[in-house]
Structure 1
């Protein structure tokens, strides 16, 4: 990371269930992306992320989750990844902070100002994302859980069958 997060930055804890089981702890970076961090905290505290699957997982790249509209376990998984929350999309908060292993980035469509609820966790560095997506945190514990998340297939990394999910997501301040 280019700059160090404040020691008192909020921590996002994600309890993962499925092929991966355990907790991923992420130090959020309101210093880099205050609006994106605020959104993730709001959704986590409302319980919106609980039960949402990792719908797109590409080995050697990233695991994507956070579709609070279509990404719940038990719903029609064919639409997972196409939705967001009922809240408005966010303006981009791009920085020079690189996308390295363990970084949490906000997912978006082609429009830079289309991030809403979905995010991804990096398995490996991806310099092609630098300055193109919003960095909003970094994993501080639980890399073993991240590495065990069920991988998807094909070029888009769609997870077939029963994907791993975020059983519970909470914010520790």
Structure 2
């Protein structure tokens, strides 16, 4: 993973995954129909270092991104995985995890098909009826302040990806401070509602003890 020297536009590279798996340039409509969707909200409790973090997952504004995360949580995928990248200096930035390889290069591979799962970049703009898919709408596309519905405020949880828009899989990150410069380029899908003090203590190499869906599982459509 690239270094992070400041909390600026140059920090974007530290959120990318360096997967060596083949990545399609765009997720097809047919593929999108096969992806899990969250129709509504769900609550996930993630335990790190013995302490709980409560996450409200927003399927209203990020149905595919939220559905992918809730589906992986329900499978027990995140249990035992590490936070392989935590950036707090010179300013609080992100705590990133969800890679089964622990190196920043891995993602979810469906054990039933032996194929990796990728999800499209999904950005809901304020006032729009549907999210925009497979297209960056922030600084990567030349826009400075896109009116996104889910902003990178402190406590946001979002998906990491490679430079290709439709390459997110299982790696996620917590925003450790307000990171408006990432809005529109990375898909936020929820917020920490309790336990942000626990998130602040996460160190590189710390493991996720467990993650479970405590409510809203009925909103997951597979």
**TM-score, structure 2 as length reference:** 0.62
Deviation at 1:33, TM superposition (A): 1.1
Would you say the 8 A contact 1:32–1:135 is kept in 2? no
Would you say the 8 A contact 1:99–1:127 is kept in 2? yes
Match of 1:111 among 161, 164, 178: 164
Query: Are 1:16 and 2:11 matched, yes or no?
Result: no
Query: Are 1:29 and 2:52 matched, yes or no?
Result: no
Deviation at 1:88, TM superposition (A): 2.0
Tell me how far apart the structure 2 counterparts of residues 12 and 41 of structure 1 sit (CA, whole Å).
8
Deviation at 1:166, TM superposition (A): 0.5
**Greater CA radius of gyration, 1 or 2?**
2
- Where does residue 61 of structure 1 map in the other structure? 93
Which segment is superposed worse, 85-94 or 26-35?
85-94
- Where does residue 208 of structure 2 map in the other structure? 166
Aligned length: 143
- Where does residue 84 of structure 1 map in the other structure? 107
Would you say the 8 A contact 1:16–1:164 is kept in 2? yes
Tell me how far apart the structure 2 counterparts of residues 42 and 36 of structure 1 sit (CA, whole Å).
10
Tell me how far apart the structure 2 counterparts of residues 98 and 45 of structure 1 sit (CA, whole Å).
25
**Where does structure 1 differ by over 2 angstroms across 4 or more consecutive aligned residues?**
none
Tell me how far apart the structure 1 counterparts of residues 51 and 197 of structure 2 sit (CA, whole Å).
9
Deviation at 1:41, TM superposition (A): 1.2
- Within-5 A mapping of 1:146-165: 146-150=199-203, 159=204, 163-165=205-207
**TM-score, structure 1 as length reference:** 0.79
Deviation at 1:9, TM superposition (A): 2.1
Tell me how far apart the structure 1 counterparts of residues 178 and 104 of structure 2 sit (CA, whole Å).
22
- Where does residue 142 of structure 1 map in the other structure? 195
- 1:93-143 C-alpha deviation (Å, 9 max, x unpaired): 113122010000111011111110010001101111001010100000001
Deviation at 1:51, TM superposition (A): 0.2
Tell me how far apart the structure 1 counterparts of residues 201 and 117 of structure 2 sit (CA, whole Å).
33
Tell me how far apart the structure 2 counterparts of residues 13 and 111 of structure 1 sit (CA, whole Å).
30
Tell me how far apart the structure 1 counterparts of residues 196 and 164 of structure 2 sit (CA, whole Å).
30
Would you say the 8 A contact 1:15–1:23 is kept in 2? yes
